[in-house]
Amino acid sequence: MTKPMNIASIEKATQKPWEQWVKELDDSGSSELSHTEIARKLYAELGGKVENHGWWAQGITVAYEQHIGKRVPGQLADGLFELAISKTIAKPRDVVFLQVTEWLEQQVEFNGCAQLKARSSTTPKRSNWRCDFSDKSKFAATVEGDNKKSKLVLSHTAVPSKTEADNWKVYWKNVANQLATL
């Protein structure tokens, strides 16, 4: 059994102790339901009771699945893993994105994997540089911010295993630290 990280937040938002959530979900047979079925049930139950009830339905579902051992932290409903590293940089968004993009595009490989289909996009709120890897996982470097500081988020999704996700997390932390010093 894994203890989900967001229990205190769930309890605060729903005004219900985690043990009560677990008992109700267990008693209703939720351990035999799919992620979607649990989330839909919670969505209906939370409607009109909490703000952003869809978001909380998903959060409770993930926490419950972790609690009963259906998934571990960082694991998605499909069994794959995701991770994200963030770093605040005291530079304007456009400068950070240009530096990050130039650095990323100069790399032949990342952690031993060649990048496939590199692409970038910019909206008024954020700028993204993305690529795919041969294992079908996907990477994105996202920069948000203003003219004074930026938030860089390096996210990697559809990673095949927890071991690989842990290895990538260490790798992307090092990359984020390097990018912050450009």
Q: Return the CATH number at 108.
A: 3.30.310.50
Residue 83 and residue 90 in contact, taking contact as beta carbons nearer than 8 Å: no
Residue 117 belongs to some domain of the structure? yes
Residue 20 belongs to some domain of the structure? yes
The verdict on 63 and 132 lying in the same domain is no
Q: What is the pLDDT of residue 78?
A: 87
The verdict on 33 and 92 lying in the same domain is no
The verdict on 51 and 26 lying in the same domain is yes
Residue 126 belongs to some domain of the structure? yes
Q: What is the pLDDT of residue 120?
A: 95
Residue 73 belongs to some domain of the structure? no
Which residues does the chain have with pLDDT short of 70?
A: 1-5
**4 half-sphere exposure, CB direction, 13 A CA radius:** 24
The verdict on 33 and 115 lying in the same domain is no
The verdict on 52 and 86 lying in the same domain is no
Domain boundary among 44, 67, 90: 67
Residue 47 belongs to some domain of the structure? yes
The verdict on 126 and 96 lying in the same domain is yes
The verdict on 117 and 159 lying in the same domain is yes
Give the pairing of strands 138-145 and 126-133: antiparallel
Q: What is the pLDDT of residue 41?
A: 95
* Domain count for the chain: 2
Supply the range of the domain harboring residue 122: 81-180
Residue 170 belongs to some domain of the structure? yes
The verdict on 145 and 108 lying in the same domain is yes
pTM above 0.85, yes or no: no
Q: What is the pLDDT of residue 5?
A: 64
Residue 58 belongs to some domain of the structure? yes
The verdict on 122 and 165 lying in the same domain is yes
Residue 163 belongs to some domain of the structure? yes
The verdict on 18 and 50 lying in the same domain is yes
**Residue 53 and residue 24: Cα distance in Å, rounded?**
17
> Length of the chain in residues, anyone?
182
The verdict on 119 and 38 lying in the same domain is no
Residue 97 and residue 152 in contact, taking contact as beta carbons nearer than 8 Å: no
Q: What is the pLDDT of residue 74?
A: 83
Q: What is the pLDDT of residue 56?
A: 94
